[in-house]
Amino acid sequence: MRKRCVVCGKDASIVIDRARVAFCNEHFIEYYERMIKRTLNKNGFNGGKVVVAVSGGKDSMALMFALNKLKNELNIKLTALHIDLGINDYSKESRDIFEKEVKKLDIDYIVVKAEDYLGVSIPEAIKFVRKPACSVCGLVKRWIMNKIAYDMNYDYVATGHNLDDISTYFMKAMFTYRSDDLIRGNEVISPPKPDLKIVGRLRPQIFLTEKENLFYCIVNGVNYIDFECPLSEGALLKKYKRIWETALNINPMSQYNFTRSILSIREKFSRDEIKLTPCKICGFPTTASDRICSFCKLRIRIKERLNKQ
Ligand code: SF4
Ligand code: ZN
Ligand code: ZN
């Protein structure tokens, strides 16, 4: 049966299963932007200087577009950051799309190369370590995002983590008995800690799905890279993500409720503060007892391997 927009009664163009509602394009945009604002405001966001990290994919492109549109209402000064990871055609195309969109939208932006910080590109770096590509890449991106935002004196880095990502991350943490991953990180807002050289984090799409981010790009004419990173092949998180297909068939609210349950359960725990100290090499915080952060360890290892060649 043809669905109707829950607001105006016109033919619907998208159904949001978990909320059992359908929208036309216009009212979907209203719904999507209301979700972004509500997610931030309910978690105590008062505005500030925000670097939005944009890979070129649908999630971060949707986030950049929405934050730019809502910047006055949210009281933010926005700059977009793209990190060129050096992953062949995938990175070239991602960078092109990013640059075209920021110019079209007249957003301040920065492009940096991972290689300039790491010494080598991501595909080269993963040859030197026995770790999954995404784990090396994630570590490098987090360090660079924090460094750039900190050096620019920005308050927050906003990232395009969506409901599919966060719910799967929590699921994997449970299935692999990594309870620390369940308790820490992935908050909607992590406050800045300038004394520790930590820039705050915003995850405004935590309750929006990949499907909603994709549709937001389409209805707004936002371009995005529509092929997957070649290094994501075999990523464990991607495999776990498939489990949601079954769960969502049984209960369309399952993914949303699962994520909210974990976030609310951990609010009730009194969490021990993690002990952070400045890294001896880069000065950014680390939990390592030898006071050398994972990013600097990676740099050292790469240098050693390069010298041996
Ligand atoms: Fe990096 Fe993995 Fe994302 Fe590719 S899929 S860009 S390797 S985190
Ligand atoms: Zn409508
Ligand atoms: Zn370091």
Beta bridge partners of 82: 111
Distance 300 CA to ligand 3 centre (A): 10
Which residues have CB under 8 Å from 208's CB, separation 6+? 32, 35, 36, 162, 163
pLDDT of residue 1 exceeding 70, the answer is: no
pLDDT of residue 140: 97
Q: Using CA of residue 226, residue 229, residue 233, residue 235, what is the dihedral sign? A: negative
pLDDT of residue 271: 63
The arithmetic mean of pLDDT across residues 107-133, rounded, is: 94
pLDDT of residue 274 exceeding 80, the answer is: no
Rounded Cα–Cα distance for residues 178 and 257 (Å): 20
Closest CA to 160 of 297, 66, 37, 237: 66
pLDDT of residue 245: 94
Rounded Cα–Cα distance for residues 30 and 139 (Å): 35
pLDDT of residue 255: 96
Percent of the chain topping pLDDT 90: 84
Distance 22 CA to ligand 2 centre (A): 9
The arithmetic mean of pLDDT across residues 90-101, rounded, is: 98
pLDDT of residue 285: 94
Please report where in the chains the tokens 């951990």 appear, as a residue.
266
* For ligand 1, mutation pick of 227, 229, 239, 298 (most atoms within 8 Å of CB): 229
Closest ligand 1 atom to residue 230 Cα is 4
Q: Are 169 and 181 in contact (CB under 8 A)?
A: yes
Task: Provide φ and ψ at 14, rounded to 5°.
Answer: -150, 145
Label residue 281 by pLDDT band (50, 70, 90): very high
Closest CA to 240 of 178, 291, 188, 302: 178
pLDDT of residue 2: 76
Rounded Cα–Cα distance for residues 181 and 174 (Å): 9
Rounded Cα–Cα distance for residues 29 and 221 (Å): 12
List pLDDT tens digits, range 33-86. 999 999 999 999 999 999 999 999 999 999 999 999 999 999 999 999 999 999
Q: In this structure, which residues have their CB less than 5 angstroms from ion ligand 3? A: 279, 281-282, 293, 296
List pLDDT tens digits, range 214-273. 999 999 999 999 989 999 877 788 889 999 999 999 999 999 999 999 998 887 776 666
Distance 62 CA to ligand 3 centre (A): 32
Distance 2 CA to ligand 2 centre (A): 14
Closest CA to 15 of 218, 24, 35: 24
> Using a 6 Å CB cutoff, which residues line ligand 1?
85, 133-134, 137-138, 229, 231-232
pLDDT of residue 180 exceeding 90, the answer is: no
Please report where in the chains the tokens 């021990």 appear, as a residue.
272
pLDDT of residue 272: 62
Q: Are 74 and 63 in contact (CB under 8 A)?
A: no
pLDDT of residue 108: 98
pLDDT of residue 284: 97
pLDDT of residue 185 exceeding 80, the answer is: no
Q: What is the pTM of this model?
A: 0.94
Please report where in the chains the tokens 């909320």 appear, as a residue.
19
Label residue 181 by pLDDT band (50, 70, 90): confident
Rounded to the nearest integer, the mean pLDDT of the chain is: 94
